[in-house]
Structure 1
């Protein structure tokens, strides 16, 4: 589905992404982890068209995306929800979702009408049900809780009917209970839609419970990749990121 080959990007002589090659099979759920400055968000920016790599390829269904705009990449089926939710703050939840659906359907002109096209409204309603936001459809987007704003932002990305969905720290800024509710909803969405989903996450309990595959970056390069149980016991990853407490916890399990 998505394959990255020898991706490189430097800023002012500092390598932010160094010869990164990763593969994301269709329908997979992958976590990207690593210490601050590892290049995780830069990697997302490169594959989604917000930055252009210095070299390398980003193959999506066999076609190279390098050089395409982020809008064109989105139209080809790669959507992204950001760490800070990007909403229509003055619109209600229903209006925001309907606007996103209409824009994807190339019906942006319908937003100027008093009554949006029925197909757009129906699709927006389906997405709100899927997200668990149907009961808040009449609430102004900016009045939602932090967690619900993040869910709505994911919904706006889903309105584009993507094949690949990028989630940049979906649980950032949440308390423990809200974090687990959020990632459970993300997992339910993945199960329901069977998207190729890639998420950046710092909470290792979440990563090891939900991810099928974990990719570890350090200083812009791939440090390790594998199934969660392999990454948990990888000494290089423990030394670079997981730390002594994690190592002691594993020893206690033995």
Structure 2
């Protein structure tokens, strides 16, 4: 079966720094994959290249067999790849449901006035259905500026899911979330995606989250893939323990 995402020989340099060094990875539909690695290992650069925010110096990126390397982030999103951000990218002056209405419509920030009115019943119904999938219906009419950090995270992921992408890339979905709420947050994400034709790839530093939710782990180090496989196997690799998790046991 053809992978939903195929990356071959992906390379990116920023001056003397090699942020991606011949990255090769195939991602089949339906897997939940976690990208791990220390800060600067190349995880976010990889995500940025896949989503069109950074152009690679070399290599191929294919979505369902079609090349997407030279496409803009907006075009990549239209083709079926969405992402959330480590710091939620939301319109803080709007309510949660209005943010989702923007995402459902596919509008840009310059088009907000055309899609934000609560009277647009069709978009509002779709936005409310998304919020309900994440257990956020009670926060629908609250301004984003009033929401707790964990709720903002979920609204950001809901916006990424609004177009029902083939591939959903999450950049540290539990960062900034309290220890008591991190599993609740991730449970809501997994529940929201269940039943949709969407494959999840998430960047994560919390190994408890990785162990519980990932089917597969890809460990990055110095712009290269250090290990790739089942969580139990990858997290026991000596080099992963030395360079990624910091465990010496």
Is 1:44 the counterpart of 2:47 in the alignment? yes
With over 3 angstroms needed to count, the CA separation of the structure-2 counterparts of 1:114 and 1:165, relative to structure 1, is closer
Runs ≥4 residues deviating over 4 A = 107-110
Match of 1:219 among 216, 219, 222: 222
Is 1:111 the counterpart of 2:115 in the alignment? yes
Which SS does the other structure have where 1:50 is aligned?
coil
Name the residue aligned to 1:94: 97
Q: Which runs of 5+ in 1 are unaligned?
A: 248-254
Distance in 2 (CA, whole Å) between partners of 1:17 and 1:157 is: 25
How far 1:113 sits from its partner (Å)?
A: 6.1
Taking structure 1 as the reference length, the TM-score comes to 0.91
Taking structure 2 as the reference length, the TM-score comes to 0.93
Distance in 1 (CA, whole Å) between partners of 2:118 and 2:185 is: 34
The 5 Å alignment of 1:91-240 reads 91-103=94-106, 110-111=114-115, 115-116=119-120, 118-240=121-243
Bigger share in helix = 1
The answer to whether the 8 Å contact 1:102/1:108 transfers is no
- Report the aligned-residue RMSD: 1.8
Which SS does the other structure have where 1:35 is aligned?
coil
Structure ID, larger Rg: 1
Distance in 2 (CA, whole Å) between partners of 1:113 and 1:183 is: 30
With over 3 angstroms needed to count, the CA separation of the structure-2 counterparts of 1:242 and 1:111, relative to structure 1, is closer
Distance in 2 (CA, whole Å) between partners of 1:95 and 1:114 is: 7
Distance in 1 (CA, whole Å) between partners of 2:98 and 2:18 is: 42
The 5 Å alignment of 1:4-43 reads 4-43=7-46
With over 3 angstroms needed to count, the CA separation of the structure-2 counterparts of 1:48 and 1:112, relative to structure 1, is closer
The answer to whether the 8 Å contact 1:102/1:110 transfers is no
